[in-house]
Amino acid sequence: MKKVLISLSAIVLVAAVAIGATVAFFSDTETSTGNTFTAGAIDLTVDSQQHYNGHECVPNLDTATSENMPYVWGPGRNPYPVTGTACGGTWRLKDLVPTFDKFFNFGDIKPGDEGENTISLHVINNDAWVCAEVSNLSSDDNGLNEPEALVDESDGVGNGELDDTMLWTIWRDDGDNIRQENEPILASGHPVNGVLPIYDSTTTGTPLPGGSMTFLGVSWTLPAESGNETQTDSLTGDISFRVEQARNNENFRCVPVQEPTGDI
């Protein structure tokens, strides 16, 4: 019986060899598995460091928790703002929450006040062009109080005087919050709506390198010589930063050149 089994196995084996022999063509295989196109990242993150009348808005490490990082005014010579009271306008690197993260949020400025934000823009992974934009500026009176009414006849939305009184300077900072003479001014004067090229083909000519950061200093003042016409006025607006890939996009401009629209 055992002998029979062995001989059957031999037959099967022979049969298998015989079948194999009939399909033994020359062959070869090359394999590449897991092919992928992954789009690169162009991701902007922003941090801000605020100063007001010589005080810096700093993290309050005494009361910080893992979820919450409160900020308070640090020490300074000027009695206002009061050291240790809450402040905004400073945060660590992050994506901005549009209605929450305000670079400027002051409720009681007065002639002679001045401040500065150092804003750093970080582009992740890839070279990118960088533009800033101020939009939706609204300069409002919020009513005319008695001393204001003596010098300001125009009340209402759009009739405020802060936009024509406040002065701003925006410069390319090295991160020390102070403008040195060799640091170029990008914009100065009264606040206005507009697009400000930070890195484009018309300014630097080269993009912000991927994985690096750039600093902007933004200083402001309500000049001491301004008067009662700005009492209770407000100036509100939006500030946004935009990055766009530099590869295959070497002629990028923050402000598009208007194409001729033909005969008028």
Q: Which of 253, 261, 166, 173 is nearest to 216 (CA)?
A: 173
User: Residue 226 Cβ, how far from Ca ion at the closest point, in Å?
Assistant: 11
In this complex, which beta carbon is closest to Ca ion, that of residue 95 or of residue 263?
95
In this complex, which beta carbon is closest to Ca ion, that of residue 9 or of residue 240?
240
User: Residue 221 Cβ, how far from Ca ion at the closest point, in Å?
Assistant: 18
Residue numbers at the binding site for Ca ion (CB under 5 A):
43-44, 95, 141, 152, 154, 159, 161, 173-174, 176, 178, 180, 229, 233
User: Residue 210 Cβ, how far from Ca ion at the closest point, in Å?
Assistant: 14
User: Residue 109 Cβ, how far from Ca ion at the closest point, in Å?
Assistant: 13
Which tokens go with 205?
Answer: 């000519």
In this complex, which beta carbon is closest to Ca ion, that of residue 113 or of residue 233?
233
Q: Which residue is nearest to Ca ion (CB)?
A: 154
Q: Which of 77, 97, 102 is nearest to 87 (CA)?
A: 102
In this complex, which beta carbon is closest to Ca ion, that of residue 127 or of residue 229?
229
Hey, what amino acid is at 235?
L
**Composition of the chain by helix, strand, coil, percent to 5:** 10, 35, 55
User: Residue 233 Cβ, how far from Ca ion at the closest point, in Å?
Assistant: 4
In this complex, which beta carbon is closest to Ca ion, that of residue 177 or of residue 204?
177
Polymer length of the chain: 264
In this complex, which beta carbon is closest to Ca ion, that of residue 159 or of residue 169?
159
How many CA atoms does the CB half-sphere of 127 hold within 13 Å?
Answer: 13
User: What is the phi/psi pair of residue 173, to 5°?
Assistant: -95, 160
User: Residue 261 Cβ, how far from Ca ion at the closest point, in Å?
Assistant: 35
Question: Quick check: bond before 59 cis, omega within 30?
Answer: no
Residues in CB range of 140: below 8 A, 6 or more apart: 156, 157, 158, 159, 160, 233, 234, 235, 236
